[in-house]
Amino acid sequence: MGKYIICAKGTHDVNAGDGSYGSGTPISQTEAATELMINRLAVIDMLQQGKISKNDCIVTLPDRKFLYQNLFDNIEEWNGQTGIDIVTGEYWNRLPYKPFYGNYERDKEHIFNISYNDDILNSDIGKFLICIPRLKNSDTRRNLPQHEWKDFINHVKENFDKVIVFGKGNESLDNGNDVLYIDTLQDYCSYLHHKNCKHVVSTISGPCHYVQQFGNVDGNCTLAMIDNHGLIQRYGHDPSYFHPCINFTNVKINYLNDIKNLKEQKW
């Protein structure tokens, strides 16, 4: 085994945080979106340039190992290892994001190459919607009350064979029938990639970035995000706020200012 490549740090509690805007989790806990948009792209870039090899050891958090399993031979959970520290290396300032990610054509096979849950990909499921009721302790202004999500799900589920719910703390929304709660990032990405995933609905949330890299194989999924604080207007020039430079699956994105607008649209 070669050197350690640190792609994520933190605890197993992926929702650790104090609720603040600037320092809820980013320092002590590598966000899943940050790892996808910056750290993983940086590692792929380094691999392509020969600065690291597939025999080196990726260090990440337990639920994200699947992001690297098809690219590297060695993967470990974060436990204080030292090596090439992608987390603190400010690679966001080194990668050619705009106008469209400059390494895309070279790197696309690696970018899309993750380990899916084959049982999910091969499941015989009709058209479905994925709902992400964000309850994170980081930047809580992007959260909505869970009862509003429950009301939305009850309203919209008649239009789909199933509603998939992703996000810690939403277990109670699973009704054992047409609403299914999932709790792993790998399962979430696998449902995203399923050919019958038609819609993903959330507030402005990190898991939505995964739609831009692992959206469904038929390319006909729509991402609807509730921007109840005008964040896209203020920060939409930034890749971390869904600038199209890293929309690798070319998913159509709709922004709404209220969950009521979702209930009123045709599905």
Q: What are 87-90's contacts with CB under 8 Å, separation 24+?
A: 87/6, 87/7, 87/8, 87/9, 87/30, 87/39, 89/42
More confident residue, 1 or 179: 179
Report the sign of the C-alpha dihedral through residues 139, 140, 146, 148, in that order. Answer: negative
Per residue in 187-216, pLDDT (tens digit) is 999 999 999 999 999 999 899 999 999 998
Per residue in 22-77, pLDDT (tens digit) is 444 545 789 899 999 999 999 999 999 999 999 999 999 999 999 999 999 999 99
pLDDT for the residue 260: 84
Backbone angles phi, psi at 212, to 5 degrees: -75, -10
Report the sign of the C-alpha dihedral through residues 245, 250, 254, 259, in that order. Answer: negative
Domains of the chain, CATH where assigned? 4-111 (no CATH), 118-264 (3.40.50.2000)
**Can you give the pTM of this predicted structure?**
0.92
Arithmetic mean of pLDDT over the chain: 90
pLDDT at 21 over 90: no
Per residue in 78-126, pLDDT (tens digit) is 999 999 999 998 898 999 999 999 999 999 999 999 999 999 999 999 9
Per residue in 210-228, pLDDT (tens digit) is 999 999 877 789 999 999 8
DSSP secondary structure letter of residue 154: H
